[in-house]
Each structure stands twice: as C-alpha cells, then as structure tokens.
Amino acid sequence: MFKLLDRYIIKTFFGPFLFIFSVLFFIFIVNIIWIQLGQFLGKGLTTFQIMKLLFYLGVSVVSMVLPLTILLASIMSFGELGERYELAAMKAAGISLTRVMLPLFGVAAILAVMLYFFSNNIIPDFQRKAKNMLFNIAQTKPALNFTPGQFIDQIPGYMVKFDKIEGEEGRDLEGIFIHKKASTFENQQSIVAKKGKFVTPRNKNYLQLVLFDGYVFEDSYAGKAENVRLKQPDQAIKFDTLVSHFDVSEIINKAIEQERITDDYRFQTFSELNTTIDKTRKDNAKLTTNISNELISQTSSVVSYMDKNKSKAPVKQQYKLDTIKSDKKLELISNAYTRLENLKSTLTSKEQELDPSVKYFSKVVIYQQRIISYSFTCIIFFMIGASLGSIIRKGGMGVPVIVAIVIFIIFYVINVGFENVAWSGKMSPYLAAWLPNIILFPFGVLMTYKALTDSQLFDSEKYKTFFKPLTKLFVKNKEHKRYQ
C-alpha cells in the first residue's frame, strides 16, 4: 500500500514540477535574450547559432531555476492534496504527514545531489562556450545589410551607396557609388555607375559586383610629396562593364565558437577553484603588505628620526605653538595640513587599488560555495513548500504561486544583499554565500513543525478572534433598536 502511495505522491509532484521548470526556464531565457539582444542584431548569425548560444546561456540558470521549481511544485502538490482532502484521508487512515513527505523529501535530496554534480561538472563547460561565443560575436563585424540611399561601410575597406536595390534577392542595383578607403600612401579611388548586379562568385570569401556604364576616378598620389600631389591631375576612366571583387572574409569567417577566453574562474570545478582561491589570497596578501609598507614609510619619518637618536642625547622638547611667531606658526600649520591631505589622498588611492582584488576574491569564493549551497537550498525550499502547501491547502496557480514568489524574492534579496556586502570586503564571502540558507533553514523547520502539528497558520478566523479585543476599542457596538 505504501509503495502505491509513494508512486501516487511522486506522480502528483512531478506533474507541476515539469510544467513549472519549463515555464521558469523559458522566462529566464527570455530575460537573457532581452539583455543580449543588441549583440545578435546585424551580425549575420544563423538561427542555429542563436539557439545554440541561448542553450549555452540557459544551462547556467538551472542552478537558480531548480530550487524555485522545487518550492513551487511542493507548494502546489501538497496544496492540491489538501484541497482534495486527500491529506485528511491519509491522516484518518493512520498515515502521518511525515510519512507522506518522506518520498518527496528523497526526491528533493536526489535533485539536490544532481544539481551539485551539474553545477560542478557541466555548467563550467557551458559557461566557457557561452562566454567565448559572446566575445566572438562582439568582435564580429555587422553582416552585409544594404539600405537604399544610405552610405554603408560594412564591406571592409570600402564605402558604398546604392540608390535602388531591386530584383530577385536584391541583386539588381541602380545609382551606384563606391569609394575605396585609402591612407595617404595609397591611391584614392571612387567608382560611379548607373547600374550593377551582384553575382555569386566561386570563392565565397569574395563579393562579386558587375557594374555597367560608369566611371572610375583615381589619383596617383601614393608615395609622392605634397607639392607633387597638388600638381597631379585626377584620372577618369569610362567603362561599359566593370567587374569588382570585394574581400568579405572577415564577415563570413567569424569563428563564432573559437575559444579565446580560458582563464575565467567560472570555467572551473569546485576543486580547481580551491587553487584559484589560494593563489588569489596570496596575491592579495602580498598587495596588502606592499601597500602597508608604502603607507608606513610615508608616515613614519618622525618616528624614524627619533629612533636614530635613541642612542644619543635625548630629543629636545618640542616647541610650544604659542611661543612661535605668527608667520612661522602659519607656515607650520600649512605644512601639517598639506601632509595630512597628502596622506588622505594616498589612503584613498590605495583603497581603490585594493578594492578590485578584494572583490575578485569574494566573487571566486561565493561562486565556489554556491555550487554546494544551492543544493542545500533545494532541500530547504522543499521543507518550506511542502509545509506551506499542507497548511494553505490550496492548489493551482493562485495562492501557492504568490506565496512562492514572495519567499523567492526574500531569498534573492538576501542573496544579492550579502553578496554586495562581501564584495566591499565588510563580510566574509564564505558567510555571505551560506547566510541565505542559514536564515531560511529555521523558517523551514518552523513551517515543518507547524504542518506536523496541524497549525491554523493561515486561518483568518483565528486572527480575527485574536485581535477582537483590540478591534472592539475602535468599533462602536451597534445594538438592535426595536421598531417603535
């Protein structure tokens, strides 16, 4: 009987789980598309390349999507069981809520372990692919996209303009102007033609353009002095047909997936990150020592002077400020103020020099610890979701979704807030990575206890009764007046 019950509970859970995971994954992908949209436009990417990039980027959001999915699915599944009075029937049959939650707790634990291995072994590889693709796309020149009546500089080394673009696939052209970009050591050349046509060449690295009825304007200034250039006449050559080839290999051969970035900490596994953390810690310690030595050497001139005179006669008593003449007094105060301002500016500059190193160390540590902490978040979210679902006893996409979103927003705010504090160096990054779980775990235990004891946590009548003595103070007691 229990095995059949376990299968039924797991089936009830995985129905909303798969649906919610798909919806949340799609939402996160849409957010990525919105952020990265500017890099896709005008780069000549194929649909397959865009889909592949989105898949690479989407894999990295699984670590955030899975805990939220478990939270929502557990609330919805236990809410449906409570709404259909199936939980009440199970309790009447002598089956405790702990026994009902046990199979799904095992499922959540398995998903947490899977998330750890997924975050440790698969996400770094896809992070590397995604970052390299984004870098290569950013370096790629825009694809050829000619607009009639506008100057286009997408062909490397040329500026072109077409008055009209007609015909099949926009191959027929009218009113053609082509200007070759040249330095002072190259001949300038411009081509004007009434008509033209794009022709598919054998070599796809070149763009072939056949021009009709036009002129080629060219100078012969290359390598000549300025006085000779002023006397040199321009050359105009009339043609009936002219075939021009343009090298577009920079646009076609993009090498979108070529791996050029390999040293990012997000490409490493948990054990590899330990090496990066140790190296970063040593570099930061060395940098801090150097900065400390510089500051001490700047502020210890008086101390070093006194140390030199320790073996000799004692240092004479300092002059009192009141006994010094006014002009000398102003000079001393000005010098002291200048030294303090210099020291203050030095401290500010050294702090700005140290901040990037502290921030980078915190980022690496937090990224490493979240490989494990997000797995524990899955279990905590299950405890909260299953307990709230059995207490609320509402299924569907209404109240459970609102409650889950509120809990996730609280978790996200805590997560990002402590992350920023750790980046500034005011908190240990290890503590910042685990503090959201530390805060939510007691809440999960409390909700589980409330669910096991059949708490009326969301019963509005209970709260009305509790606050009734208080509300009586502000509400007049209206007695029924008999009709006279």
pLDDT(113) > 90: yes
pLDDT(333) > 60: yes
**Which pairs count as long-range contacts for 437-445, CB under 8 Å and 24+ apart, including other chains?**
437/373, 437/376, 437/377, 437/380, 439/414, 440/377, 440/380, 440/384, 440/411, 441/380, 443/384, 444/380, 444/381, 444/383, 444/384, 444/387, 445/383
- At 303 the pLDDT is 46
Instruction: Tell which residue, 221, 293, 262, has the closest CA to residue 127.
Output: 262
Confidence of residue 248 (pLDDT cuts 50, 70, 90): low
Count of CB atoms situated within 10 Å of the CB of 419:
19
Q: Are 26 and 58 in contact (CB under 8 A)?
A: no
Confidence of residue 306 (pLDDT cuts 50, 70, 90): very low
- At 52 the pLDDT is 82
Distance between CA atoms of residues 10 and 104, nearest Å: 6
Section 388-393 average pLDDT: 80
- At 357 the pLDDT is 83
pLDDT(472) > 60: yes
N-terminal to C-terminal alpha carbon distance within the chain: 69
- At 118 the pLDDT is 92
Q: What percent of the chain has pLDDT over 90?
A: 10
pLDDT(376) > 90: yes
pLDDT(305) > 50: no
Higher pLDDT, 394 or 314: 394
- At 483 the pLDDT is 47
- Which one of 176-185, 254-263, 393-402, 430-439 scores highest in mean pLDDT? 430-439
Higher pLDDT, 204 or 132: 132
Confidence of residue 93 (pLDDT cuts 50, 70, 90): confident
pLDDT(361) > 80: yes
Backbone angles phi, psi at 269, to 5 degrees: -85, 180
Higher pLDDT, 185 or 341: 341
Distance between CA atoms of residues 78 and 393, nearest Å: 7
Residue for token pair 């993009």: 254
pLDDT(2) > 60: no
pLDDT(42) > 70: no
Distance between CA atoms of residues 167 and 199, nearest Å: 13
Confidence of residue 479 (pLDDT cuts 50, 70, 90): low
- At 298 the pLDDT is 65
Confidence of residue 259 (pLDDT cuts 50, 70, 90): low
